Chain A
Amino acid sequence: MLIKYLRLLIYFTFFCLILSENNFKSIEYIPDVILKDLDKKKVKLLNISDNKFIVFNFWNMACEPCKKEMKFLNEFHKKYNDYDFKVISVNMDSPRSMSKVKKYVKSSKYEFEVLMDPRMNLFKKMGGSVMPFVVLADNRGIISNKHVGYNLGDEISLEEEIKVLISFNKDSIINND
């Protein structure tokens, strides 16, 4: 049974790899949703992400790896802010944990914007199922890559990817002109 299952899994993995290639998938855009920020103000996602290179990160208070990754995301947010880059952090705790979320964000001195997605609408629309979940999007609102999971060291690769994202799109804009 185990051998049969493994064989099936290998075939399916190849199938998934082929499907995940961009050639087989239509362009995916940032969804048009309205979320609330920590001060309960409504925020239209497309408005705050317009013409920006974005890293979305999805997390909740129980997710320890998410919290570790956020420390580095905050650094990237500050470091590349002049390059039209920003991090949008999306918390998925239920509203009843909002006081703890706000307290945590304040005490961690995070400078990025934190939005609340208690019904996990945006998370599911972007295809998330496991945290930490990071989504990269360019300044045209096109989603360029997604990452699931975090281990110390992954932030180095992510930073390289952010640099490529910013520079690649600048080049392509120049070329298009």
Chain B
Amino acid sequence: MIKLKFIVLFFGIIHANINLNFESQYGSGSNVNDQTQDTTSYYYFENLLDINVNYRNLNLYTQLEYSNPPVYGEQIISSKNVASSYFVEYFNDFLMLKWGNIQTINNYGLDINMFQDQSIDFDNRIKGIELRYLPNDVVEFNYISGNGTFGTKSKGDLRVNDLNFDHKLDSYGMNIYSDFGEFSISSSSKKTFYDEGIYNTLSNSDTRFAIDLQDYISDPNYVNENSEVELNAINFSYSNTLGNFDIYIENSNNIYNKVLRKDDKDEEGYLRYFALSGDIFGMSLSYEFKDYYMLYYMPIISNPPTVFFESSSVLISRIQHNINFSDEIGHQLELSFNGKYNLSYLFNLSMGMKHSGIRNPNSFDFDEDFNIFYNVYESISFSDFFGSNGMDYTDEDFIAHKPFRNIYAEISRWNNNNSLYSKVGYHSHYSYDANSDKVYQTYTIPTQFVVGFKSKNSLTTYLEYQYTKNFDPFTFEEKEFLTYKHLALSYYINKIGSITYLRDEENITFLANNDFNKDNVWEGIELSLKISPTMQLSIFQGSQKGGLVCANGVCAVQPSFEDGTKITFRALF
């Protein structure tokens, strides 16, 4: 780390291009537990300084952190681990060589997609090398190798990762660019190391992997042993443009061993993805299909497409589907077109479920040696998602497949002189995933209005309404009705900043408790000042409702914030 600081200093002295990016976050208030109503003090003080140094064909990036404690993660106050993230990169027209934290994606990420997202406390990067060699315009060779530690949380509302796995990656491949399309082939080897005792924590955790683990019985004798999972993959992708349409196909075939299993039998799994997009009858159309079947494997490096609608709406993001990258099959269709009177239309349908062959714990028999064997639930099809009996939560075969269905429609419009923007949407989301307690039918109406004035000032309003019917995850009986209202009203004064009023209302009717009602309100005011075009200071005073923050199908729980102050300062210089 000391060497790294000298490199930064060295480049600084020789007048390389240096960009500094500073972000400081301070928050002090209290946090109320939704279940127990206990109030605890909530405090964070997180400071990040990104340093980017460019000198000829060299690029150096490092992130320095002082956090006591951060919003998420371990506190960093020692100078020993202050450089939390870094890389050095050399590049020219034919070669790219990077050493340090590797953030990269191969094709659509079925095999390798490594990135850091601090908003959801996600980081699956490795420390190692990445090499890309492009001898000509037809072919590209790539090689990635390194080790990492992946952290996740056994409970969504934890601030610090309590499950950590060391892992290792080696991958090499080539891309071919031809008149017949773009081909890519690669091979990778991945290893994950599980410490003893982690199985118990894992199988009782909120992670998607836990749901898989709970679906099969592991020999308790192995629980307190270290385990190593090794995966070998062969990946192929093809893309081309045919007329008005772009097509993309990717397939990843994998062989791996199950965690905590001592038999030599290997599992075979695959990740498949197909996309088609283009114009037809004046409309833009895109269709995606996913088929992810990697039972009992916890993907760390791989991060394939989610194939469902991800909205920027506050209320929709709180009920977003939590994808199971190990076992999910699904479709997404999106249509958009422009109509009369500057109106733009968007329609999106997405759905998914587990593969059939799910063990039924309530239906079993014995073979001739009196060994127990379980029957499986009857398979279902995507036609069961529609029609008068569609998404039937009383059908146990259907709900065993943990299906979800998203329907979203949106109309938006700019007026003729671009001074008024309006957007109204409708979102329906049905989810029957008992293991992750996401068993509900929910409807959301997100709206957005922006008015620009002649004074160059503007008024922005986000007004959203959501109604949710929650079911009991065991009996699938109606449990409670929830209504949420979200308002963010912001007045922006050009070149100075904005003042925003934020309000969240919650109403819960508990059916099992004689229709007992509970109301909550969170209110706050945020003042945002533009000190310079690249420097901003925001001060928030009040309360904020917590909830899920999701990206790429991965979600983190942001805790509720009560009666406190939050300050955020961002500067680029």
State the A residues within 8 Å of B (CB).
Answer: 1-2, 5-6, 9, 12-13, 16-17, 19-20, 25-26, 28-29, 31-34, 39-40, 42, 44, 62-64, 68, 71-72, 94-97, 99-100, 102-104, 106-107, 118-121, 124-130, 145-149, 151-154, 156-157
Nearest-neighbour CB distance to chain B for A60, whole angstroms, equals 10
CA distance A121 to B450 in the complex (A): 32
Report whether over half of chain B's contact residues are helix, strand or loop; otherwise say mixed.
strand
Quick check: is B572 within 8 A (CB to CB) of the other chain? yes
Nearest-neighbor residue (CB-CB) of A147 within chain B = B533
Nearest-neighbor residue (CB-CB) of A44 within chain B = B93
CA distance A39 to B572 in the complex (A): 32
Asked if B535 contacts A157 (CB within 8 A), the reply is no
Asked if B105 contacts A94 (CB within 8 A), the reply is yes
User: Given contacts A39-B241, A152-B450, are A125 and B537 in contact (CB under 8 A)?
Assistant: no
Contact digits for B519-531, partner A, Cβ 8 Å, 1 yes 0 no: 0000000000011
Residues from chain B with a CB closer than 8 A to the CB of A95 are 105, 107-109
Contact digits for B51-75, partner A, Cβ 8 Å, 1 yes 0 no: 0101001010100000000000000
| A5 partner, pick from B310, B448, B567, beta carbons under 8 A | B567
12 additional A-B residue pairs with CB within 8 Å, beyond A71-B418, A95-B105, A152-B458: A2-B26, A20-B532, A29-B17, A33-B91, A40-B177, A94-B108, A99-B288, A100-B286, A127-B19, A147-B533, A151-B494, A153-B452
CA distance A33 to B241 in the complex (A): 25
CA distance A131 to B533 in the complex (A): 13
| B105 partner, pick from A5, A100, A118, A126, beta carbons under 8 A | A118
Nearest-neighbour CB distance to chain B for A109, whole angstroms, equals 8
Nearest-neighbour CB distance to chain B for A131, whole angstroms, equals 12
Nearest-neighbour CB distance to chain B for A94, whole angstroms, equals 6
| B537 partner, pick from A13, A63, A118, beta carbons under 8 A | A13
| A152 partner, pick from B246, B277, B492, B535, beta carbons under 8 A | B492
Closest 7 pairs (CB-CB, A-B) = A127-B19, A99-B277, A152-B458, A20-B573, A96-B108, A153-B456, A151-B492
Q: Which residues, 539 to 573 on B, are CB-close (under 8 Å) to A?
A: 565, 567, 569-573
Nearest-neighbour CB distance to chain A for B12, whole angstroms, equals 10
Asked if A68 contacts B334 (CB within 8 A), the reply is no
User: Given contacts A125-B54, A127-B52, A149-B536, are A157 and B571 in contact (CB under 8 A)?
Assistant: no
CA distance A104 to B103 in the complex (A): 26
Give me 15 A-to-B residue pairs in the complex whose CB atoms sit less than 8 angstroms apart, sorted by A's number: A2-B28, A2-B565, A13-B537, A16-B22, A17-B531, A20-B535, A31-B17, A72-B418, A95-B105, A120-B103, A126-B19, A147-B534, A148-B533, A152-B450, A157-B456
Size category of the B interface is 35 or more
CA distance A157 to B565 in the complex (A): 32
Nearest-neighbor residue (CB-CB) of A27 within chain B = B17
Asked if B284 contacts A130 (CB within 8 A), the reply is no
CA distance A119 to B16 in the complex (A): 22
Nearest-neighbor residue (CB-CB) of B346 within chain A = A107
Asked if B460 contacts A99 (CB within 8 A), the reply is no
Nearest-neighbor residue (CB-CB) of A94 within chain B = B105
Asked if B456 contacts A28 (CB within 8 A), the reply is no
Nearest-neighbor residue (CB-CB) of B277 within chain A = A99
Asked if B248 contacts A99 (CB within 8 A), the reply is yes
Asked if B460 contacts A100 (CB within 8 A), the reply is no
CA distance A25 to B20 in the complex (A): 11
User: Given contacts A94-B109, A127-B21, are A153 and B494 in contact (CB under 8 A)?
Assistant: yes
User: Given contacts A95-B107, A99-B286, are A16 and B277 in contact (CB under 8 A)?
Assistant: no
CA distance A148 to B285 in the complex (A): 32
Residues from chain A with a CB closer than 8 A to the CB of B113 are 94
CA distance A44 to B93 in the complex (A): 9
Asked if A124 contacts B52 (CB within 8 A), the reply is yes
Which of B275, B310, B573 counts the most A-chain CB atoms under 10 A from its CB? B573
Nearest-neighbor residue (CB-CB) of B21 within chain A = A129
Residues from chain B with a CB closer than 8 A to the CB of A29 are 17
Residues from chain A with a CB closer than 8 A to the CB of B573 are 16, 19-20, 25
Asked if B284 contacts A103 (CB within 8 A), the reply is yes
Quick check: is B457 within 8 A (CB to CB) of the other chain? yes
| B45 partner, pick from A5, A28, A32, A152, beta carbons under 8 A | A5
Q: Which residues, 415 to 434 on B, are CB-close (under 8 Å) to A?
A: 418-419, 421
Nearest-neighbour CB distance to chain A for B153, whole angstroms, equals 23
Quick check: is B356 within 8 A (CB to CB) of the other chain? no
| B458 partner, pick from A31, A33, A151, beta carbons under 8 A | A151
Quick check: is B336 within 8 A (CB to CB) of the other chain? yes
Which of B15, B275, B533 counts the most A-chain CB atoms under 10 A from its CB? B533
Which of A6, A39, A63, A124 counts the most B-chain CB atoms under 10 A from its CB? A124
CA distance A32 to B455 in the complex (A): 40
Quick check: is B24 within 8 A (CB to CB) of the other chain? yes
Asked if B54 contacts A31 (CB within 8 A), the reply is yes
Asked if A16 contacts B535 (CB within 8 A), the reply is yes
Nearest-neighbor residue (CB-CB) of B250 within chain A = A96
Nearest-neighbour CB distance to chain A for B139, whole angstroms, equals 13
Asked if A26 contacts B571 (CB within 8 A), the reply is no
Nearest-neighbour CB distance to chain A for B297, whole angstroms, equals 20
Residues from chain A with a CB closer than 8 A to the CB of B451 are 152
CA distance A63 to B570 in the complex (A): 18
Quick check: is B23 within 8 A (CB to CB) of the other chain? yes
Quick check: is B195 within 8 A (CB to CB) of the other chain? no
Nearest-neighbour CB distance to chain A for B563, whole angstroms, equals 13
Nearest-neighbour CB distance to chain A for B177, whole angstroms, equals 8
Residues from chain B with a CB closer than 8 A to the CB of A19 are 20, 573
Which of B17, B26, B109, B455 counts the most A-chain CB atoms under 10 A from its CB? B17
Residues from chain B with a CB closer than 8 A to the CB of A146 are 533-534, 572
Nearest-neighbour CB distance to chain A for B534, whole angstroms, equals 5
Asked if B421 contacts A68 (CB within 8 A), the reply is yes
Residues from chain A with a CB closer than 8 A to the CB of B105 are 94-96, 118-119
Nearest-neighbor residue (CB-CB) of B528 within chain A = A149
User: Given contacts A95-B107, A124-B52, A148-B572, are A157 and B494 in contact (CB under 8 A)?
Assistant: yes
CA distance A32 to B562 in the complex (A): 48
Asked if B536 contacts A103 (CB within 8 A), the reply is no
Residues from chain B with a CB closer than 8 A to the CB of A25 are 18, 573
Nearest-neighbour CB distance to chain B for A67, whole angstroms, equals 10
